[in-house]
Structure 1
């Protein structure tokens, strides 16, 4: 299980009204029992069997259904997610994208850690009244620190709040977000920065209505030159105006200046290090380099998985 610790730098109405209310009630306002019954296509007799067990044992409907073998734990989690308007990936999607723990296991301790970090990020980067609006660059000293994994799950937790969230894969040296989300990667950021017109480069993520991903597209031979061009800064300003939250994945600092350049364009940076793997010297060097850029340091995350 991945664990994270973080540090930061300094009238009337009657029947007619009742009918209107009932008509306005959405599918999300149904009980857990009703959702599970519909999902499993339970008969009236099976529902009564569950209710009888529930009364006898003093447990919840979902627990009773699981105990009787009439529903699975996954059915209950899906019902909870639907009732509380919380995106939760179906089983087939979880197999395709196993790294997306905030979507696959939204009620786990690991997902809760991401939500705790989301709270800090919301206060330090995406707070109301912040001007100009910032994007958040997720950076790390070395490859394998969990930067891509972290950026993806942070973006999911931000989208789960309901605000339009965009995850930009700006790792033009070793892109992975398209694999993490299992999406098309024929066109993307590199196409835009090189001046090629492409349609639908930003893709909405199935099952998370507020989440969008801009993949890298074709890996370019001149990644640093592309992000140093004015077009990248102009693009980020446009994206931060259109989305509530913009998270940007970056190449590891060991590959060059890409990460610091991207952080400067974004306006904020969050550093990821991996426990028992990241070298203290490399981490300190990265923090010092970022301190010399216009980027606001949001904090340092120690990835313990």
Structure 2
């Protein structure tokens, strides 16, 4: 008999619309900066004259003349190359979301590098589609920071990406993205809410976040129910990538249960903070099961 859980379809009964294909518009950096800074024709001519005289790019000339900032130039580049990026100074984003604020930051480049490795390996197109669970041995290892920024760089490819905050012990994703969190994963798993639990992220059109919702008194019991596995299965059919932030392993078996239901796991440790014994123990537990191990990242954040 083919039975369907009520969670299976109703958890995201109103799925976010598919990301539209970017429309290529042949506009110059000068056009974008001019609009952003509302430069007059005289000021644009001043920038062009400086550009010709010194043999530099329009953005460099505008910055040299104090008619634009470096952040303005990065924003203009993001528009020209259809790269989702926080406009202006990125003040509306939490400083931890470096991939949304500064696309040329070395940390952002590191996240892109990890994304590339995953897409050529455990998350390659010829591999079974799985959700990626991010685990860490202890609190303060930077796992939530890592999960948020990894989700951002995946979404910047134009792929619909969902970040699930499954850390029902110390949830933080709703704070980082400044999204409502009255309902979320716990509401779905407990059967109290099945709609409006997936939140779009403004300025990052391909990124969505499912917060924890109310912190339950019985997180492990909720996660061990079949509902979470069914929910992940449904979400993988609606999103290109699903990334799951899990509780630190010191809180118990939550993270390992989540990893088993996601099918793919990566461990995040923190340099000079994480204890090697704890890291080795967590990796050993993951690799003994049926979960595919995607690797370990040593975080300096």
Q: TM-score, normalised by structure 2?
A: 0.90
Query: C-alpha offsets along residues 157-188 of structure 1, whole Å, 9 cap, x if unaligned?
Result: 00001110000000011100000111101000
Further displaced range: 271-280 or 41-50: 41-50
Alignment-derived partner of residue 103 in structure 1 = 100
- 2: CA distance, partners of 1:159 / 1:116: 14
Is 1:272 the counterpart of 2:256? The answer is: no
SS at match of 1:210: strand
Moved more, 32-41 or 216-225: 32-41
Q: By how many angstroms is 1:96 displaced?
A: 4.0
Task: Give 1:70's match in structure 2, choosing from 67, 70, 75.
Answer: 67
Q: Kindly indicate whether residue 118 of structure 2 is the aligned counterpart of residue 121 of structure 1.
A: yes
Measured in 2, the distance between the counterparts of 1:228 and 1:91 equals: 44
Quick one: distance in 2 between partners of 1:26 and 1:254?
47
Q: How many residues align?
A: 280
Task: Tell me if 1:251 matches 2:232.
Answer: no
Q: Are residues 1:35 and 2:32 paired?
A: yes
Aligned-residue Cα RMSD (Å) equals 1.4
Tell me if structure 1 keeps the 8 A contact 2:166–2:247. Answer: yes
Per the TM alignment, residue 72 of structure 1 is displaced from its structure 2 partner at its CA by: 1.3
**Aligned position for 2:10:** none
SS class of match (2:204): coil
Gapped regions of structure 2 (runs ≥ 5): 1-21
Change (3 A) 1:178 1:28: farther
Asked whether 1:263 is paired with 2:259, we answer yes
Contact kept in structure 2, 1:137 and 1:269, CA below 8 Å: yes
Question: Shift in Å at residue 94 of structure 1?
Answer: 3.3
Deviates most, 221-230 or 70-79: 70-79
1:205 aligns with 2:206: no
More helix by share: 1
Determine if contact 2:131/2:243 at 8 Å carries over to the other structure: yes
- Whether the 8 Å CA contact 2:165–2:244 is kept in 1: the answer is yes
- Structure 1 residue runs of 5 or longer lacking an equivalent are 1-24
TM-superposed CA distance for 1:304, in Å, is 1.8
For residues 23 and 249 of structure 2, what CA distance do their matches in structure 1 show?
Answer: 48
CA 1:198 to 1:236, structure 2 compared with 1: closer, same or farther past 3 Å?
A: closer
Q: Output the TM-score relative to the length of structure 1.
A: 0.89
**Structure 1 counterpart of 2:165, from 166, 169, 179:** 169
In 1, Cα distance between the equivalents of 2:195 and 2:243? 21
- Residue 19 of structure 2 aligns with which residue? none
| Greater Rg over alpha carbons, structure | 1
**CA separation in 1, counterparts of 2:121 and 2:184?**
29
Deviation for aligned residue 1:104: 0.4
1:202 and 1:214 in contact (8 A); partners too? yes
Deviations 1:179-205 (A, max 9, x none): 011110100000000011243110010
2:93–2:100 CA contact under 8 A, matched in 1: no
CA distance in 2, matches of 1:125, 1:237: 17
Once the 2 structures are TM-superposed, how far is the Cα of residue 125 of structure 1 from its aligned partner?
Answer: 2.7
- Which residue pairs with 2:234 in the alignment? 238
